[in-house]
Amino acid sequence: MKCFSLLCTLMVSVCLHGQYYRKPLQPDTSHYKQICLTLSPIVVENGKYYFNEKRVKYEEIVLPLMSVNDRIINKKVKTVRTMRELFKPIFIAETLYLINAQLNCPYTQREFQRIAYAYIGILVFNELYHLSITVVKRKTVARYNDLVMQPLAAISPAMGLSIGCKLRF
């Protein structure tokens, strides 16, 4: 029974945090290429991102987000990266705490309640963390879409006073 509960705790922890244990992709800095991007809007449907009609992960749209060179977007992208890096040790500590709690059997009623409250607290913390990351991502994409779809006004003195309108795609 002790082994089973330990295994269940480990599996739940890995399922909740497994995506944060992998090393993030590092760009190839051996040579730099100039990339020409067409800035098209990013569509968000059911928590999935679509860029140029292809489904992509958030990490894959960071380049178009940063190419707009907007101060607010750059700050939010860095916020997402920082939050991921800061919370990795917290997720590892949560897992180690739950494993340690499983190994210290038998429980008294008070110890069982303490561990149950800690486990519920960890689950609530994880949900709030994911919610906050999602909110920052959505705000970043919304700001990007506003900038990309924003019309540019131009005044041409050679042709008199005329205003042209252009969309950046």
pLDDT digits (tens, 9 = 90+) for 115-124: 788 888 888 8
All residues at 6 or more sequence positions from 133 whose CB lies less than 8 Å from its CB, including other chains = 80, 83, 84
Q: Which residue has the tokens 């590092």?
A: 26
pLDDT at res. 169: 46
More confident position, 54 or 23: 54
Measured CA to CA, the distance from residue 120 to residue 22 in angstroms comes to: 25
What tokens appear for 97 in the block? 């705490």
Instruction: Give the HSE-up count for residue 92: Cα atoms under 13 Å, Cβ half-sphere.
Output: 9
Q: Say what percent of the chain tops pLDDT 70.
A: 65
| Domain limits, the chain | 2-10+38-166
Cis upstream peptide for 89 (omega within 30°) = no
pLDDT above 60 (res 25): no
pLDDT above 80 (res 158): no
pLDDT at res. 76: 92
The torsion angles phi and psi of 40, rounded to 5 degrees, stand at -115, 160
How many residues in total does the chain contain? Answer: 169
Quick: pLDDT tens for 45-101: 888 899 888 898 888 888 888 888 889 999 999 999 888 888 888 888 887 887 777
pLDDT above 90 (res 139): yes
Q: Which residue has the tokens 């894959």?
A: 60
* 0.75 surpassed by pTM: no
In angstroms, the first-to-last Cα distance of the chain is: 60
Q: Which helix (H) or strand (E) holds 169?
A: none
Cis upstream peptide for 106 (omega within 30°) = yes
Residue 114 — pLDDT band, cuts 50, 70, 90? confident
